[in-house]
Amino acid sequence: MTVTYRRAADRTGGSGAGGSPNVEFDLDPCPSCDTRYDVRVDPREAVVVRVSGRTCRECNPHWRPPETPGGRRRVTIVPTQPSGGTLRIETLCEDVQDRSASHLPERVPAAPHREVETEVSQRADAAWQRAVAPIMSTVLAEADRDAVERAWRPEHCETLEAVAEALDEVWTTVAPTADETTVALRVVGLPAVTAGLVATVAARWTGREPIALTGELLRFTGVAICAGTRNAVTCGRLRHELETVTDVPDDGMVGLLETGFARALTATMSGITVGEFLGDLDTQPERVRIQDDVESVAEAPAGPIARSRTVTAEVLDGPSSTAIFGA
């Protein structure tokens, strides 16, 4: 069964990072389990998703049979660099009722694959770049393609993978066990180019695919950009899927990328651009406030953690730009 969600509204107005307009998507509940999703993007701060319902395999492909009864959960996914060290993606899961909290597994971006450039690797990179060129125009507008191409490194692909793993964990272990789940994914703290990609991908969601597949879409984004910037041979995600990157692009992978982006992303940009993040990202924001009818979320932990996603984000101080979408 394919679940299709209605994109009922698309409104603009207001301003946030770089004056980005607001974009709203009003979506129908899942026809199989009646779970409702509300997703907002504040480009200064976070992507936040509220899930009302325990989800099902139709609206949440990561769904597993719940082992514990409902309740309300708040999940905060936070990029951190303790003592200026290695970037980590930490996830804190809180029980709203009893105020208990636990950390999901911490995600650390893998080191990118390195090898000496040869004539063979150059040929492979050029072939993959030609193969994904039409896909890149779907993923990014021309101005963003130029900005991303200048800033992109294979490390950014591994960062998107770590964020994707964190999101997948939340959809697998948290959302199916709670009657209500609120997930805030902070973009501040990520490398600017990856923060911009997370925000723009979220703001352009069509609703034709479950929001729970955003992790997969972020993986696809990293692979497509690596290939499109002549980094296919050093792309760890592409090697993970194919074992080896040859100078003849894999038709199955190219087709998967093309189909996934066409279904998941709108054809036009939302007004949030990657270029804004490369110059204007607020490097000292206030922490995320998750709007709720209970006390505000606790400070993010300084220790290890890992996966998630959810509802409504607002910065404690300063203007914001909000996009609502769902799955």
DSSP 108-140: -PPPPP-----HHHHHHHHHHHHHHHHHHHHHS
pLDDT confidence of residue 270: 65
CA distance 307 to 212: 12
Q: What is the pLDDT along the chain (327 residues), one digit of tens a residue?
A: 344 444 444 444 444 444 554 555 556 799 999 999 988 888 778 889 999 999 999 999 999 988 777 899 999 999 998 887 889 999 999 999 888 999 999 999 998 877 788 899 999 999 999 999 988 887 787 778 888 888 999 999 999 999 999 999 999 999 999 999 999 999 989 999 999 899 888 888 777 788 899 999 999 999 999 999 999 999 988 888 888 888 899 999 999 888 888 777 776 656 777 877 776 544 444 444 455 443 443 443 333 222 222 222 332 233 333 333 333
Helix (H) or strand (E) holding 314: strand 313-315
pLDDT confidence of residue 199: 87
CA distance 163 to 89: 7
pLDDT confidence of residue 279: 67
pLDDT confidence of residue 17: 44
288-312 b/e with 16+ CB inside 10 Å = b? Answer: bbbebeeeebeebeeebbbbbbbbb
- Tokens 């270029």 sit at which residue? 275
pTM above 0.75, yes or no: yes
pLDDT confidence of residue 25: 58
Q: Where are the domains of the chain?
A: 17-321
pLDDT confidence of residue 245: 87
pLDDT confidence of residue 23: 55
- Pull the structure tokens for residue 58: 């139709």
Whose CA is closest to 196, among 309, 66, 327, 44?
44
pLDDT confidence of residue 54: 94
**Residue 190 carries which DSSP code?**
B
Q: Map residue 92 onto helix, strand or coil.
A: strand
Whose CA is closest to 203, among 278, 282, 269, 267?
269
pLDDT confidence of residue 85: 84
Return the sign of the alpha-carbon dihedral for residues 58, 59, 63, 66.
Answer: negative
pLDDT confidence of residue 157: 94
**Residue 189 carries which DSSP code?**
T
pLDDT confidence of residue 145: 84
pLDDT confidence of residue 105: 94
